[in-house]
Chains A and B, each alone.
Chain A
């Protein structure tokens, strides 16, 4: 940007005064077209790996690594999908179901427990509350591995290795991040609501369940969504706790497949696409909440 551009844009905003507010935008003076060009370039760069994964799922190996690059599979290898789904020893449909089960349970349990705990921290007074909350926030700094080593030993002694119990039960007791997030939302609700309900003789649980919970529904949805996606991505927990392949969620199944078939690229990428697709569908169904969720984390966090 030349000094001349800068003075011009300055004159512009000064002249129009209150009507067109001066942007926060450093790029404001670049002009809308330049900005679109830049953004389009960035968006394409971000999209290429995504696109590459999806079209490579419909190519054979020689097409994936062809020179010149093949931006569209020719011919389209539709049977890759079928081959990936029915590959002997790697039941991807089973993995898919395991992922749905795992992420579904964790997300449901997390939202229920974190809503209750967040509500307790935000709206009810009890001795030691603030100290307990401070401890809760500081636990976010503890590396997962510090927890995993003794917990693994514990579950081994309980004979629960190779089951989903160690993956689901601890998660259902709450999660510091979501407790923090939901507490912020409960804090924002008016105290009069609680007082009025108490005068009317409603018990604390009823106030929570029937009055407060419906008011923070968007936040609950965001928490459920984020928890679902993060559990779908989860790799370390399943890696150490699960041993039987029929129990693997998609992440781990994909990893095991890659370990055995390093060169089956078309199948690897077809399976990767299949592991991503459900989240993309979920994302487009709930996009508004999802983007809102990222925004909320930014503001509340």
Chain B
């Protein structure tokens, strides 16, 4: 008995020691969560109900910031429209392009490593630099892109100086960086067991059927991952838009993205309360869209082991 109790006590001591060590290991992150996550989130929520210019203390104004943005701030709607336009085109095009590219790259032919490297290269260019390069290439008179379009007999566009073409130009710029998600898709493709594909081939499935009924369902978790990442990052587009259009969204507010609007409200006009309210709206938008995607996931994402998989 005594021995057993001593053993238990020793185990209890070991467990306590492990718990102490565990807390010590996660301590820096715990600090970060409190100081740089929980506090700012609560503070932003509070500030969104105040009038605050940093110099004077915040003054409680109730729902006024929210009322202002919905009824008296045309830039709010403009910037939401611009961001939505961008997200609705950039995300699906990026996903489809990355998947297509990954399928092309997924083969054992020699030389694939070189292509993989070349496609990953644009990811290295700092966003400010890549935007500057594309501004030069999109030059309506003598830029590379219009020159190439002319050579093959296609109509040219005003691109970044034309309000209707500025956003498509930003989307093209975003597609230049789809190599990252293509590599993630490629990793997913490499995880697909060859045996399944062989079995499907023996059962008489052609390449398209194998893709549609084996590859694609098994790839849906990766598609979900890339979709969520793509949506979140497109909601946050800032650097490229600021380099192209400045804080006014030139030309004619066509590149005034939601993040640019928040940035100028907070750090140019120092209307911190108003900016906090805008940030809360962005937070809610990200939350709702992510929840909808995850809720829809059980319909279209295949999880290994779940039974109702063959739709």
B204 at the interface (CB under 8 A from A): yes
Complex contact A235–B128 (CB within 8 A): yes
Which of B75-83, B84-92, B206-214 binds A? Answer: B206-214
Which of B35-43, B63-71, B300-308 binds A? Answer: B35-43
Complex contact B133–A49 (CB within 8 A): yes
B19 → A minimal CB distance (Å) = 4
Across-interface contacts of B287 in A (CB, < 8 A) = 141
105-145 of chain A: CB within 8 A of chain B: 113, 116-117, 119-121, 124-127, 129, 132, 135-136, 139, 141-145
- Partner of A294 from the list B21, B29, B184 (CB cut-off 8 Å) is B184
A89 at the interface (CB under 8 A from B): no
Given A36-B111, A39-B115, A65-B141: A145 touches B25 (CB 8 Å cut-off): no
- For chains A and B in complex, what number of residue pairs have CB atoms within 8 angstroms? 329
Contact with A along B118-157 (1 / 0, CB 8 A): 1111101111111011101101011110011000000000
Contact with A along B28-49 (1 / 0, CB 8 A): 1111110111011101100100
- Partner of A28 from the list B207, B225, B236 (CB cut-off 8 Å) is B207
A88 at the interface (CB under 8 A from B): no
A220 → B minimal CB distance (Å) = 15
Name the residue of chain B whose CB is nearest to the CB of A249.
B126
Given A49-B176, A298-B185: A143 touches B283 (CB 8 Å cut-off): yes
Name the residue of chain B whose CB is nearest to the CB of A38.
B104
Across-interface contacts of B39 in A (CB, < 8 A) = 150
Complex contact B187–A26 (CB within 8 A): no
A9 to B201, alpha carbons, bound, how many Å? 10
A80 to B1, alpha carbons, bound, how many Å? 85
Complex contact B129–A276 (CB within 8 A): yes
Complex contact A42–B272 (CB within 8 A): no
B10 at the interface (CB under 8 A from A): no
B265 → A minimal CB distance (Å) = 10
Name the residue of chain B whose CB is nearest to the CB of A53.
B133
- Partner of A21 from the list B187, B191, B197 (CB cut-off 8 Å) is B197
> What would 18 A/B residue contacts be, using CB atoms closer than 8 Å?
A10-B204, A22-B198, A24-B192, A24-B211, A26-B207, A125-B15, A126-B23, A132-B30, A146-B40, A147-B36, A149-B47, A150-B40, A153-B272, A174-B29, A251-B129, A269-B136, A272-B130, A295-B184
5 nearest A-B pairs in the assembled complex, by CB-CB distance: A120-B25, A298-B187, A124-B22, A22-B201, A126-B22
* Chain B residues with a Cβ under 8 A of chain A: 14-15, 17-26, 28-33, 35-37, 39-41, 43-44, 47, 54, 101, 103-107, 109, 111, 115-122, 124-130, 132-134, 136-137, 139, 141-144, 147-148, 176, 179-180, 183-192, 194, 197-198, 200-202, 204-208, 210-211, 214-215, 222, 225, 232, 235-236, 238-239, 242-243, 259, 262-263, 266-267, 272, 275-276, 279-280, 282-283, 286-287, 290
Seed contacts A10-B201, A149-B266, A251-B239; 16 additional CB < 8 Å A-B pairs: A22-B197, A24-B210, A42-B104, A46-B119, A116-B25, A116-B28, A146-B40, A173-B32, A203-B21, A254-B128, A254-B129, A255-B243, A275-B126, A283-B124, A297-B184, A299-B188
